[in-house]
Amino acid sequence: AENQLRQSQKMEAIGQLTGGVAHDFNNLLTVILGGLETIERQLATPGKDPLARIGRAVAMARQGALRAATLTARLLAFARRQPLQPKPIDASRLVTGLADLLQRTLGATIALETVAGAGLWPALADAGELENALVNLAVNARDAMPEGGRLTIETSNACLDEDYVAGVPEPLPAGHYVLIAVSDTGCGMDQVALQKAFEPFFTTKDVGKGTGLGLSQVYGFTRQSGGHVRIYSEPGHGTTVKLYLPRCLDTRCVDTVAPQPENQASP
């Protein structure tokens, strides 16, 4: 019986993994299809500066396809039982590098703003998983702002001296974190949605639109990295999702972080 239980737990884990990968993969296919549609449209009825538009669309489709290839490589690594390898990363540089793809995901009616904190600590996390998490958050923000709005991604250092109560689901342990705060000006979430948000397959979206796996990927990723995720939201007042990633304390990390402009003081 114990064997059977373990088997069914394994099946459940595989189900969640493949569901999550299919979901992330779908996000990327949307980007690729969007690029191809733009190219088709420009060829049929060329707008202003069609070559530049086609060039941008090709670059976007290419970036999406590249990330999809990374995703399948990770799936293969998992099949070979290689765990994710968290590495020192510069979160603000990662966000900047992803900005085009995120803007593409958000569409023309949503403005993307990125705010980088000065002297940001290196974080310890898997870069590919962090990118997936940010794309998932952008997809949710887009769906929460059908009439348009603003998405702000702010990176900063968070030094918590004491545990403190911080959003859903539970108090945040004291420690040094690299904080990535993702805020939208959308519809917000009610208490029920807030309590269930991280559950796999919980969705309030129409069939075919939502899978309920976006936030569960975000949760799984931050917990696996040794970090935390908190949601602050109120109906009608937008939503902020805060990713607290562990600060990389290895002194060798310093080399991988971009030098700060001279007028910004380092801590």
Residues that bind ligand ADP (CB under 6 A): 136, 140-141, 144, 184, 186-189, 193, 197, 202-205, 210-216, 239
> Phi/psi at 38 (nearest 5 deg)?
-60, -45
Name which of 42 and 136 has its Cβ closer to ligand ADP.
Answer: 136
Least distance in angstroms from the C-beta of 157 to ligand ADP: 24
User: Torsion angle of alpha carbons 15, 21, 22, 27, nearest 10°?
Assistant: 150
Least distance in angstroms from the C-beta of 210 to ligand ADP: 3
Spatial distance between the Cα atoms of 176 and 193, rounded to a whole number of angstroms: 29
Least distance in angstroms from the C-beta of 182 to ligand ADP: 8
Q: Are 178 and 157 in contact (CB under 8 A)?
A: yes
Tokens of 222: 């931050």
Cis amide linkage into residue 169, ω under 30° from 0: yes
Name which of 42 and 217 has its Cβ closer to ligand ADP.
Answer: 217
Least distance in angstroms from the C-beta of 201 to ligand ADP: 8
Spatial distance between the Cα atoms of 68 and 75, rounded to a whole number of angstroms: 11
Name which of 96 and 240 has its Cβ closer to ligand ADP.
Answer: 240
Name which of 62 and 237 has its Cβ closer to ligand ADP.
Answer: 237
Residue of minimal CB distance from ligand ADP? 214
Name which of 35 and 238 has its Cβ closer to ligand ADP.
Answer: 238
Ranges assigned E (strand) in 57-184: 87-89, 110-116, 123-125, 149-160, 175-184
Least distance in angstroms from the C-beta of 23 to ligand ADP: 7
